[in-house]
Structure 1
Amino acid sequence: MVESGRDPAGRIVVEENGHVLLIGVDRPEKRNGFTPKMFRELATAFTRLECDDNLRAGLVHAFGDHFSAGLDLPSVAEMRKRGELLIPPGEVDPFNLREPFRKKPVVAAFKGISFTLAVELMLSVDIAICAEDCRFAQLEAMRGIMPGCGATFRMVERAGWGNAMKLLLTGTEFGAAEAYRLNFAQEVVPAGTEFARALEWAQVISVQAPLAVRAILENARIAQTNGLTAALAHVESTQKVLYNSADAQEGVRAFVEKRPARYTGA
């Protein structure tokens, strides 16, 4: 039963917490099954994160007992039959699969049922925190489709061919401990504490020098997509810019004066 006044297609709720943008998946009455509307709103939230200079990190979380049961197939299938994109052109792709690539870090907190696109989101963010009660599964092969948001190659990259294929080809469920073992998640915490822990990490990131954080993310992505030579060239061209930034000068002053740095992103 959907509460009176709530859109049955769900929503993405955004809220600023200091320099952190909280991005909440809000359709708990359907285990946060993703509709086309929710994909669009998620992309809008990620675009806001990228475009707002006050925001330095994002935190994706979910309302209710579960992160997401995956796609709301009846609503998504017709779009996909027509070859329509779930992420509108011009918006930032939350799964970081196409340009413009995300330049700001994102942490995510997972809990309960976290199927299909939840796994793919876990693989696409920068730090994934999982509650001990997480249940993960990549179920597309059971539905006659394939993962479309990066699992087919990111699982292989993180866990190796055999481990990835065991999960991708069978839809077998796995828990938080296995996600951690396979390098899909960075930390497992007691159920109910995942949001607070993820927020801690996002806040730690948000007080670092923004230009440096973005440069680190970009260099790591270049290494993954274009190789070591391209990444080394990027380091050389970027370091001069960083060393001449106001933030780098503030970093030196803070070091000398033995105090926390106060970065502005300039």
Structure 2
Amino acid sequence: MSEGQIGTEVHGHVLKIIIANAAKKNAFTPAMMEQLSDALTELHHNEAYRVGVVCAEGGDFTAGLDMPKFFGPTAEKRNTKDGNVDPFGLNKRCRKPIVTAVQGIVYTIGIELMLAGDIVVAADDARFCQMEARRGIAPLGGAHFRFLSRAGWGDAMYHLFLCDEFSAQRAHAIGLVQEVVPAGEQIERAMTLAAMIARNAPLGIQVTKEAAANYVEAGEAAAIAYIPKIRDRVLGSADAKEGIRSFIERRAAVFEGR
């Protein structure tokens, strides 16, 4: 489909969730974000599913948001349904384990989506970049604290400040990725790990995730609460408008700090 979609497949006790917008490097539209929330909510509630695998068709995991569809003059206004799982795990996090397989371009929300899960398998051709500040805004999907909890302050700030592109090997070295495999094998490996997890006691696994999240979220709560302040400061700024214009016009942005 030209507009992209989120597909699902059932493999025993594993729900495979597939990002399908390869023609646009799997950039997310508002409809796709809503569909991803629906799929994660199904994983959360359906006891037949013990583990989720999030992956993508084509050569790239995702280039991020389809910016004009979110922020342009024809932006679509869609919201996550009340009670649904938030794809970024900011308001409601999936209680089941999630293994994410990434390849090629893994930009902005791609990193935030994988860090909202639990285990990441990366193809050796994966390239990561948290580039929001290049566009005049800032990460709004949890990167500002999940980078920190996975990589530590120095490595987190290194990449959040530079907005640089880094390799799968670098992502593995700083803890953002748990395994690196040859390109083309990442989904199969993620499915293998998911099947191994699914053979363990579901309640034991879910309680383990809940206990770990309870420990982390005492610190995450403050970071999540700060997101509206970040949004208010950056989304209405002249720099944000310039970032969108430069993206649409395919040119380097010129920021003024206001």
TM-score range, shorter chain: 0.7 to 0.9
Q: Is 1:216 aligned to 2:208, yes or no? A: yes
2:83 to 90, 93, 96: 90
CA RMSD of aligned residues (A): 1.9
Give the aligned partner of residue 170 of structure 1. Answer: 162
Give the aligned partner of residue 149 of structure 1. Answer: 141
Give the aligned partner of residue 5 of structure 2. Answer: 11
Q: Distance in 2 between matches of 1:14 and 1:169?
A: 36
Q: Is 1:181 aligned to 2:137, yes or no? A: no
Give the aligned partner of residue 22 of structure 2. Answer: 28
Q: Is 1:117 aligned to 2:84, yes or no? A: no
Q: Is 1:102 aligned to 2:94, yes or no? A: yes
TM-score, normalised with respect to structure 1: 0.78
Q: For structure 2, list consecutive stretches of 5 or more residues without a partner in the other structure.
A: 220-258
Per the TM alignment, residue 178 of structure 1 is displaced from its structure 2 partner at its CA by: 0.6
2:40 to 26, 32, 46: 46
Deviations 1:153-206 (A, max 9, x none): 111122222221221122100010010011001000011110110000000111
- Structure 1 SS opposite 2:112: helix
- Structure 2 SS opposite 1:130: strand
2:61 aligned partner, one-letter code: F
User: Whose Rg is larger?
Assistant: 1
Q: For structure 1, list consecutive stretches of 5 or more residues without a partner in the other structure.
A: 1-5, 228-266
Q: Distance in 2 between matches of 1:88 and 1:146?
A: 25
2:56 to 58, 62, 67: 62
- Structure 2 SS opposite 1:225: helix
Per the TM alignment, residue 85 of structure 1 is displaced from its structure 2 partner at its CA by: 6.8
2:82 aligned partner, one-letter code: P
Cα 1:185–1:220 change in 2 (3 A) is same
2:50 aligned partner, one-letter code: R
TM-score, normalised with respect to structure 2: 0.81
Q: Provide the identity percentage.
A: 42
Q: Distance in 2 between matches of 1:143 and 1:87?
A: 24
Give the aligned partner of residue 75 of structure 1. Answer: 69
Deviations 1:69-106 (A, max 9, x none): 11110001159x99x6753332111221113x321000
Give the aligned partner of residue 249 of structure 2. Answer: none
Per the TM alignment, residue 216 of structure 1 is displaced from its structure 2 partner at its CA by: 0.4
Q: Distance in 1 between matches of 2:155 and 2:82?
A: 34
The count of residues paired between Structure 1 and Structure 2 equals 219
